[in-house]
């Protein structure tokens, strides 16, 4: 390996390292003070992210006195989603970049009953993938592959690693074939405050992931009201960057963080925590977000930096 | 426009994909190219070549991180251009200095007769970077990924030039030790 080849290899490092530096380089003035500020705020900001995520995930898990029943085959649950937000401009900013909604569905390839469509999003989901594909993403991250494998040998390596990830997640091949729908908000069609958006949830599996209910990383997402009238439920949600008591004055620096939690609603186990934080922090999140009423097996832990993950095998 | 929409444009073979890529990531790619080439015209050409390469690569590629994907393409193209310039003896001083410095981390056993798996090297590099303190990691990436001059790093990080040099040297030594320990032969 000569020096140019080595320098080129260095070019393929995890993009997370590269983009972190770009944010510093693109900013004005010396990077160091901003860096310090970010570090000082880190713990408190993480709390805000977790608050947002916990609201979303807890909602999905049926905590906080919300009970979301998994629909039976053929059953559809209807929701109205009302966003309470006085500043429309903030919400439009929020809808950009990372605002999105991820749900995992049990694949019903013959059936067509799986559906989820918030009113402001495009009719068709912008992306759909199976849990197996998701595991493939994790496998590539572990192998340090920036792109899907192309060579025969590389593909075999990726397949083997994917199998390992699925095993650690306690998923059979059949379970892994479940599909998720990933909707991303189009900034041009961003949600407007105060307008109820219809949302239908049909025939879901017991295993799903709610990544972010709405809002960018770092937004405070708060469920204000949960009203049920007949078969229709209305959720009132506030998306805010306003500091809460004990939180820093500005949450702007929160954007680098993104964490997704996956758990089994039926068994109450947190299966994995993935995100762009370091392994130690992810491990802490895994501990903090333990679903308390059940045992939390930690036999198999694997952590990585970059697209980090903490996988917790079923006991 | 979001990354997923830009990707959709590439997959739909819409030329708007290039326009949107330029709008969203043009300045970033230019910074990458200029850091290596230090020549505005060459940097611009590299960025244009990046969109062409992306057009050829997507589909079938479906990058998970579009910014990282474009950045890596720009860097690769810029290095290729730098090599051509070097062959023509047209300069490229600062990036070449960075390349030479980073070459200090190549274990002596990695000669041309002993092939080293690039993937393994990459895995080791990612693990090494992940274990570094943030400042050291960012400085290392800024110098050897972006090819930025030490003086610029010192200014940006609010450090003395000698401090930056020392941090980089120590990090290079750590990387050399790490790669030797990994025995990637």
Buried b (16+ CB within 10 A) or exposed e, A66-76: eebebbeeeee
Task: Report the domain count for chain B.
Answer: 2
User: Can you tell me which residue has the tokens 């500043």?
Assistant: A87
**A13 in contact with B at a CB cutoff of 8 Å?**
yes
**In a shared domain, residues B52 and B70:** yes
Query: Which carries the bigger pLDDT value, residue B21 or residue A254?
Result: B21
Identify the domain boundary among B91, B119, B142. Answer: B91
Q: How many CB atoms lie within 10 A of CB A226?
A: 17
**In a shared domain, residues B122 and B174:** yes
Strand order in the sheet with A259-264: A207-208, A259-264, A269-275, A308-311
* pLDDT tens per residue across span A167-176: 766 666 665 6
Mark out the alpha helices in B58-117 (DSSP H runs).
Answer: 66-87, 93-103
* Backbone region of residue B20 per phi and psi (left: phi > 0; alpha: psi in -120 to 50; beta: other values): alpha
**In a shared domain, residues B79 and B129:** no
- The CATH number covering residue B40 comes to 1.10.1740
**In a shared domain, residues B81 and B100:** no
User: Can you tell me which residue has the tokens 């952590």?
Assistant: A303
> Which of A30, A137, A147, A148 is the best mutation test for B, with the most CBs of B within 10 A?
A147
Domain carrying residue B35: 3-91
Its pTM stands at 0.41
**In a shared domain, residues B7 and B81:** yes
* pLDDT tens per residue across span B75-114: 888 888 887 877 655 555 667 777 778 877 777 666 554 5
Query: Which carries the bigger pLDDT value, residue A255 or residue B163?
Result: B163
**In a shared domain, residues B104 and B118:** yes
**In a shared domain, residues B15 and B51:** yes
Mean pLDDT of B39-52: 90
Least trusted range by pLDDT, from A125-134, A246-255, A263-272: A246-255
Helix (H, G, I), strand (E, B) or coil at A77: strand
**A305 CA to chain B: closest CA distance, Å?**
6
- Contact of B128 with A7, CB cutoff 8 Å: no
Which residues of chain A are within 8 Å of residue B63 when distances are taken between CB atoms?
146-147
Nearest to B28 by CA among A95, A15, A253: A15
Respond yes or no on whether the N-terminal peptide bond of residue B60 is cis (omega within 30° of 0).
yes
Looking at the predicted structure, is the pLDDT value of residue A64 above 60? Answer: no
**In a shared domain, residues B107 and B128:** yes
* pLDDT tens per residue across span A194-210: 555 444 443 333 333 33
* pLDDT tens per residue across span B110-163: 655 455 677 777 888 888 888 888 888 899 999 888 888 888 888 888 887 777
Q: What is the pLDDT of residue A153?
A: 82
CA distance A76 to A72: 8
The sign of the CA dihedral A265, A164, A296, A261 is negative
Q: What is the pLDDT of residue A6?
A: 78
**In a shared domain, residues B116 and B176:** yes
Q: Both ends of chain B: CA-CA distance in Å?
A: 44
Helix (H, G, I), strand (E, B) or coil at A248: coil
| Chain-chain contact of B141 with A13 (C-beta, under 8 angstroms) | yes
Which letter does DSSP use for residue B1 in this model?
Answer: -
**B28 in contact with A at a CB cutoff of 8 Å?**
yes
Structure tokens at A186: 């189009």
Nearest to A285 by CA among A295, A277, A293: A277
Which letter does DSSP use for residue A209 in this model?
Answer: -
Helix (H, G, I), strand (E, B) or coil at A34: helix
DSSP string, B137-179: HHHHHHHHTS---HHHHHHHHT--HHHHHHHHHHHHHHHHHHH
Which residues of chain B are within 8 Å of residue A145 when distances are taken between CB atoms?
119
Contacts for A47 with CB less than 8 Å, ≥ 6 apart: A247
**In a shared domain, residues B114 and B172:** yes
Identify the domain boundary among B65, B91, B117. Answer: B91
Query: Which carries the bigger pLDDT value, residue A127 or residue B25?
Result: B25
Q: How many residues does chain B have?
A: 185
**In a shared domain, residues B107 and B134:** yes
**A8 CA to chain B: closest CA distance, Å?**
7
Q: What is the pLDDT of residue A114?
A: 33
Backbone angles phi, psi at B99, to 5 degrees: -60, -45
Structure tokens at B32: 């990458």
**B71 in contact with A at a CB cutoff of 8 Å?**
yes
Looking at the predicted structure, is the pLDDT value of residue A157 above 60? Answer: yes
CA distance A78 to A86: 26
Which residues of chain A are within 8 Å of residue B54 when distances are taken between CB atoms?
none
Identify the domain boundary among B33, B68, B91. Answer: B91
- The CATH number covering residue B149 comes to 1.10.10.10
**In a shared domain, residues B107 and B141:** yes
Contacts for A66 with CB less than 8 Å, ≥ 6 apart: A58, A59, A223, A226
Mean pLDDT of A214-225: 47
- Contact of A93 with A217, CB cutoff 8 Å: no
Which residues of chain A are within 8 Å of residue B8 when distances are taken between CB atoms?
126
Which letter does DSSP use for residue A218 in this model?
Answer: T
Which residues of chain B are within 8 Å of residue A97 when distances are taken between CB atoms?
2
Structure tokens at B45: 């050409």
Backbone angles phi, psi at A308, to 5 degrees: -70, 160
| Mean confidence (pLDDT) of chain B | 81
Nearest to A8 by CA among B18, B144, B115, B11: B144
Beta bridge partners of A182: A102, A127
């Amino acid at each position: 390996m000569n020096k140019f080849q080595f320098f080129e290899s260095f070019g393929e490092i995890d993009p997370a390292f590269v983009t972190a530096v770009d944010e510093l380089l693109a900013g004005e003035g010396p990077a160091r003070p901003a860096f310090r500020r970010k570090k000082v705020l880190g713990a408190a900001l993480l709390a805000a992210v977790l608050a947002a995520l916990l609201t979303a995930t807890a909602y999905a898990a049926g905590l906080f006195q919300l009970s979301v029943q998994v629909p039976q085959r053929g059953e559809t649950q209807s929701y109205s989603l009302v966003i309470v937000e006085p500043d429309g401009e903030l919400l439009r900013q929020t809808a950009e970049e990372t605002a999105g909604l991820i749900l995992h569905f049990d694949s019903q390839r013959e059936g067509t009953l799986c559906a989820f469509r918030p009113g402001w999003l495009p009719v068709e989901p912008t992306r759909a993938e199976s849990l197996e594909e998701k595991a493939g993403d994790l496998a590539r991250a572990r192998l340090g592959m920036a792109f899907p494998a192309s060579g025969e040998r590389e593909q075999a390596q990726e397949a083997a690693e994917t199998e390992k990830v699925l095993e650690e997640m306690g998923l059979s091949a059949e379970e892994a074939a479940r599909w998720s729908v990933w909707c991303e908000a189009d900034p041009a069609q961003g949600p407007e405050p105060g307008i109820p958006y219809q949302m239908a949830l049909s025939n879901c599996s017991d295993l799903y992931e709610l990544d972010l209910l709405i809002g960018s990383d770092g937004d405070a997402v708060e469920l204000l009201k949960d009203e049920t009238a007949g078969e229709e439920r209305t959720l009132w949600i506030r998306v805010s960057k306003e500091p809460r008591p004990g939180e820093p004055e500005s949450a702007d620096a929160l954007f680098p963080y993104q964490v997704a939690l996956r758990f089994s609603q039926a068994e109450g186990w947190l299966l994995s925590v993935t995100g762009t934080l370091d392994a130690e922090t992810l491990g802490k999140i895994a501990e903090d977000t333990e679903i308390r009423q059940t045992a939390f097996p930690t036999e198999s832990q694997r952590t990585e930096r970059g697209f980090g993950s903490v996988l917790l095998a079923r006991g | 426009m979001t990354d997923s929409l830009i990707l959709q444009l590439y997959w739909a073979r819409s030329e708007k994909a290039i326009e949107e890529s330029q709008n969203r990531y043009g300045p970033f790619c230019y910074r990458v190219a200029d850091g290596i080439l230090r020549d505005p015209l060459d940097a611009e050409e590299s960025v244009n070549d990046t969109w062409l390469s992306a057009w050829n690569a997507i589909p079938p590629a479906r990058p998970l991180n579009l910014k990282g994907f474009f950045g890596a393409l720009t860097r690769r193209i810029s290095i290729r251009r730098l090599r051509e310039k070097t062959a023509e003896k047209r300069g490229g001083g600062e990036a070449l200095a960075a390349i030479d410095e980073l070459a200090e981390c190549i274990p002596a056993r990695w000669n041309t007769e002993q092939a080293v798996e690039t993937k393994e090297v990459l895995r080791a590099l990612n693990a090494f970077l992940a274990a570094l303190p943030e400042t050291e990691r960012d400085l290392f990436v800024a110098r050897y990924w972006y090819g930025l001059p030490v003086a610029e790093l010192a200014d940006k990080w609010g450090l003395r030039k000698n401090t930056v040099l020392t941090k980089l040297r120590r990090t290079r030594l750590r990387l050399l030790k790490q790669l030797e320990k990994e025995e990637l032969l």
